[in-house]
Chains A and B, each alone.
Chain A
């Protein structure tokens, strides 16, 4: 692998990490546990097509039931909004990150997180987003959004988060 390619990939990683933090902070500030809480009224001054725009005006994440990767009816509208938003911003490519709560084993939760990311991706594709614009990754239970050890935190951690690349 050439140094140039290596540097490019590392830079992409750094950008990803930089994007994630504001997303998580927003989620915490607005009470991400409630369905649709992130679908704000609009009007937030974020650059259109940015992660901040996605978080504030669309909703960057959907939540899952325990040990399930089925997109809940109350979560589907968030993904449908994400699909419309991606069509409005055709230059945007995203990574869907799948996560699990801490009440499973690490290895199984990695696979479960991948299945959740894939479920969310499938809804985006079914709503007209080209599959090539969406990649997926799983972090299992190892990157919780909520740090508590209780049902409320676990509900927030069983999630698929759409992150602008």
Chain B
């Protein structure tokens, strides 16, 4: 099957990560020491830490065009850091030293007095279509460079450079990988609810570079990224045959996965990218299968009269969590990746659904429905330590950022009347401590977000 769809070109790779030695014009300060710096570095495993005050002046530039890109990059970095909830950008009106002077050499006193603990400086240079960005991260109190990196890329890719810099800042100051150089694929919804148009759409994690992948001539649901971020597994109603399908981002090609007689749904890739676990219906039952992507052979993992749906691998590939009504109502179960040793893990009040394993392996996020309310929560893989992060009239389908620190999901508001007025469905994110819930802006109603791995 090859429905006509817009193509998404392969990502242009950015030559990145060239480490800058000691700052150019000056012999001071020395490059960062190997040991973890103190000062601005904090521990984010604490619940609701105080955000790090950071100053992000515009990148300097020799020409108006380079200055404009430098300003745009700084704005993207600022938005990323602010939206994470873990950084507090220092008011730019208070800046004393100019970006140009700071890029030469920071006058730390000027940044200390306005309350900055961390400072970024940098320079954007344009040579034709090539953009080179030098970036440095400073720990203001010990007056120490934490990082110096240069990125080169086609100028059109300046946003990716901004996201890569944001990830460097996050990792150096918080001690773990960031999640800014990522994308989100989701279902863009428009039209009245009884005749909804649903299209696959993809965007950067901050909502930019938005584009539709399918044209709405057939409905789509539940897209999920391959670990290489170049394929998407999703459920397609192409030709009114609801089947799990694959979308190849580099070519736009689509194909039905497997040779199932009935509906297939709720796909997820295995962590090694070689297989897809999904649910297949036969008669009134739904059971979990794994489809090998090389041989396309199917292997049935569960059987019996229940509805087994929403399977998801553990990050080491050894286990699968899923939800089933085999015990009477929907609960979460974990089994070996071969279908062995099935055990129930959810025992709280209500129905549990859409389990998804954290990339860190430490938590399983889920949707809970209880007392007429939907909620997003997390629990440990053995079912202990359940915590509800957000609760409301309608919300479901959590997806983890690649560092396991943030969840995205969709939130619905109820209709006010019999015509459906007031209903909406929007993407939201929240950190796993339950703070910093934010709406993700999309052009239309949205559902079923899936977070990509880091793109580089």
Contacts and interface: CB of A to CB of B under 8 A. Distances in A.
Nearest to B419: A147
Nearest to B323: A108
A165 B49 CA distance: 60
A138 B369 contact: no
A106 B415 contact: no
A26 B444 CA distance: 30
B240 A12 contact: yes
Contacts of A107: 222, 265-266, 279, 309-310, 353-354
A16 B329 CA distance: 34
Interface string A140-162: 00111111110001000000000
Contacts of A67: 325, 329
A147 B309 contact: no
A149 B414 contact: yes
Contacts of A10: 239
Interface in A118-136: 118-119
Interface in B178-194: 192-194
- Interface bracket on A: 20 to 34
Interface stretch (B10-18, B200-208, B280-288): B280-288
A143 B353 contact: no
Interface string B399-417: 0000000000000101111
Interface-centre pick from A12, A69, A104, A142 (highest chain B CB count, 10 A): A142
B28 interface: no
B194 A145 contact: yes
Nearest to A13: B240
A103 B239 contact: no
18 contacts: A9-B240, A67-B325, A102-B412, A105-B369, A105-B397, A106-B221, A108-B309, A110-B235, A111-B265, A111-B279, A112-B307, A114-B284, A115-B286, A137-B263, A138-B281, A142-B219, A147-B418, A149-B423
Interface of B: 1, 192-196, 198, 219, 221-222, 235, 239-240, 242, 262-263, 265-266, 279, 281, 283-286, 307, 309-310, 323, 325, 329-330, 351, 353-354, 367, 369, 372, 393-394, 396-397, 412, 414-420, 423, 447-448
